[in-house]
Structures are given as structure tokens and as C-alpha cells.
Amino acid sequence: MKRKLGRSGVEISALGMGCWAIGGPNRRGDNPIGWGEVNDEESVRALRRAFDLGVTFYDTADVYGSGHSETLIARALGDQRDRIVIATKAGYTYVEETRQAPGENGDPHYIRRCCEESLRRLNTDTIDLYQFHLGNYDLQKAPEVLAVFEELVEAGKVRFIGWSTDDPTRADLFAQSPHCVAIQQAFNVFGGNEQTLAVCEKHDLASILRGPLAMGVLTGKFSPDSKLPANDVRRNFDFKTGRQAVMLGQIEELRDVLTSGGRSLAQGALAWLWARSAVMVPIPGFKTVAQVEENAGAMEFGPLSTEQMLLIDHILGRVSAADE
């Protein structure tokens, strides 16, 4: 199952691998911004397994594990470099040695330095898709950010550019560049910014989707009694009374339609996204080979049907009889 990386015309797998979690422990001060402990050898096996299963798109960022995620991608898939598309990001500050990510920096000189460091860790001459990571960056300063991204394209260090932002105005600003081919936004069956998606569809940009499984909630592995480790960015998820508790209830209502045809719950959630828009490329995270196999297996089933999509909208109260 294939899709285009927006107007670049480059063909990629319809599913990408989100490589945040494999970066391992990472902190901003006392607050964890990683997904807890990981096993690097398992991460390498998982990345290779993803490639074997037809995944050709890998999304990371310099701040994931303070550079560690990029290093693992190079280690696992360096011998397949010409057969994969690598996307990374810049904008957050980080210290490789201490695994600390103290803040943000969108200054052009910092972006240039980050690009060089990502090229080094990825062991490559060119970044296929370079994305600005600061989703709410000052709109007045954004043109100078776009200018330095364009400069990196002209220098041959970057092929294409994008912005990881849920804001349609910011997305539209980058969309004016002929080198912009993607906007990364949060989207899953529970919702997302429809206006930002509309910008992608209007300008023929790939809508790369973070959180396609609601940070794991849509896998069905959590219950009201679930608690996450203190070093996990999701440590404050509340499955008893919070937003995640609402999601658990909605999942039970959606379970039959999402798991129809032999899909797992996660595969059904990914299938919903492919049916929602032809520009969507979900990038679920992973820590294990088994998770990669389940997520990549969704491509064998393809998107949900129109009837299934309508049923889900009814269940979630997004369509009335008058809308049909």
C-alpha cells in the first residue's frame, strides 16, 4: 500500500514508523519527554522488520532521545539508505550526553547547526524531509525560519521541507514554498484539526499523522486501572476519570466496526485514517518487533469502507440523519 509524499511525487509506504519512543529516556528538567525504557537491540530488530514488511518512511527528530533515535535509524537501515525516506525535525534544544532537552530555539544559526548534527547521526548526505518542530512558533518570525529551510534545500543538505504544526495559518505559510511537501499534525479517529488537513489537501501536501493511535490508547491495551511509569511522557494519563477514560468508553463502542474483517483494534484505527483522506500518512510509534508487525499489517487490509466510516461518525455523534 503506497502513498505520495505530497507534491514531491516521491512514493512512500502508506504507513510510516514514528521513531520517538525508540529514542529512550529523555527529560526536560525533571519532566520526562520520552516513552520510558527501551531495548536498543529490539529497536534495531523492529526497524529492520518494518523495512522487510514494506515500510519505507521513517519519521524522527533530533530531540528524540537527544539524538539517539536518529543514530538507531542509521545503525539499523544504513545499508538501505537509497530505498527509504527519512524525515527528521529541528527546533528543540538538547544535549546528547545528558539526555536533557531544555528548551526551544528557532534561530537560523541553530537550525543550520541542527541540520549538520542530524546529517552526522543519520550518516547521510541529505535529509529527505526536514521539518520545523516548534508547532506554535511566533508567526512573525516564521518567515526567517522558512528562509533557512530553503537555504538548506539550495545547499543540497535537504530535499524537501515541512512543519510539524496543528495550526492552519502556520501550515499555509510553509505551503507557499515549492519545497514544502508535508505538514505533520495530530490526528486519529477521535479527531484532529480539520482546517490544517484542508491546507494539506488544497496544496497537495502529505498530512503526516502523529498520535494516530492516541499515544497507544487505540491499541486497546489499557484499562481503567492502567498506570504508566514515572519516566514515560504519558505518566499523567488518567484512565479512570480523565480524557483517556472517555476514550476507553468510545473504543468499546467502536470496537466491532474497527475490528471488522479480521483487523486488530489498532489496524482498524489506522484504516480509518487512510479512508479519511488520501493525503494522510500515519506514523504510529513502536518499541517492539510485535508492534511493528501489527501496525504494518494494517496495510494488508487497506482503508475502511464508506459505510464503516459513516457508522463510526454516527457512533461518535459526528453525523446526524440530516447529514446523510
Statement: the pTM of the whole predicted model exceeds 0.95 = yes
In a domain, 195, yes or no: yes
Q: What CATH number should be reported for the domain holding residue 29?
A: 3.20.20.100
Average pLDDT over residues 270-297: 98
Domain membership of residue 87 as a residue range: 2-221+277-287
**pLDDT at site 320:** 53
Determine what percent of the chain is predicted with pLDDT higher than 70: 98
In which band, very low, low, confident or very high, does the pLDDT at 319 lie, cut at 50, 70 and 90? confident
35-85 pLDDT, tens per residue? 999 999 999 999 999 999 999 999 999 999 999 999 999 999 999 999 999
pLDDT at residue 321, rounded to an integer: 44
The string of pLDDT tens digits covering residues 229-251 is: 999 999 999 999 999 999 999 99
Contact predicate 159/128, CB 8 Å = yes
Q: What would the pLDDT profile of 137-181 be if each residue is shown by its tens digit?
A: 999 999 999 999 999 999 999 999 999 999 999 999 999 999 999
Helix (H) or strand (E) run with residue 108 in it: helix 108-122
Amino acid at 137: Y
Q: Is pLDDT of 19 > 50?
A: yes
Q: To 5 degrees, how large is the angle CA 176–CA 20–CA 160?
A: 25
Smallest CA-to-CA distance from 176 within 194, 157, 150 is with 150
pLDDT > 60? residue 323 = no
C-alpha cell of residue 136: 506554535
Could you tell me if residue 148 is inside a domain?
yes
The answer to whether residue 36 is domain-embedded is yes
CA 199 → CA 12, 146, 169, 206, 261, distances in Å? 21, 17, 9, 10, 33
Asked whether residue 149 is assigned to any structural domain, the reply reads yes
Angle between helices 289-301 and 40-52 (to 10 degrees): 20
- Residue 104 located in a structural domain: yes
The residue type of 53 is L
44 in a domain, yes or no?
yes
Domain membership flag for residue 281: yes
How many structural domains compose the chain?
Answer: 1
**pLDDT averaged over every residue in the chain:** 96
For residue 197, tell me if it sits in a domain: yes
Q: What confidence category does residue 324 fall into, taking pLDDT thresholds of 50, 70 and 90?
A: low
So what's the pLDDT on residue 238?
96
Backbone angles phi, psi at 251, to 5 degrees: -60, -40
Q: How many residues does the chain have?
A: 324
